[in-house]
Structure 1
Amino acid sequence: PFTDMHLNKELPAQNGLSDASNPMYSYILSGIALFVLLIACINFVNLTVARSVRRSKEIGIRKVVGGERKQLIVQFLGESFLLCFFAFALAIVLVQLALPVFNELSNKVLTLSYLFDAKLILGYMALFIVTGLLAGFYPALVLSNYNPVETLYSRFILSGKNYLQKSLVVLQFALASFLIISTLV
Structure 2
Amino acid sequence: MKIVECDIAGPLIIEPQVFGDERGFFLESWNAARFAEAGLDMTFVQDNHSRSQKGVLRGMHFQRPGPQGKLVRVVSGAVYDVAVDLRRSSPTFGKWVGVELSAVNKRMFWVPQGFAHGFLTLEDGTDFLYKCDAPYAPANEHSLAWDDPDVGIDWPTDGLDIQLSAKDREGKPLSEVEAFA
Q: Which category of TM-score, normalised to the shorter sequence, fits these structures?
A: under 0.3
Structure with the larger RCO, 1 or 2 (CA within 8 Å, 6+ apart): 1
Larger helix proportion of the pair: 1
TM-score when normalising by structure 2 = 0.19
Structure with greater Cα Rg? 1
Larger strand proportion of the pair: 2
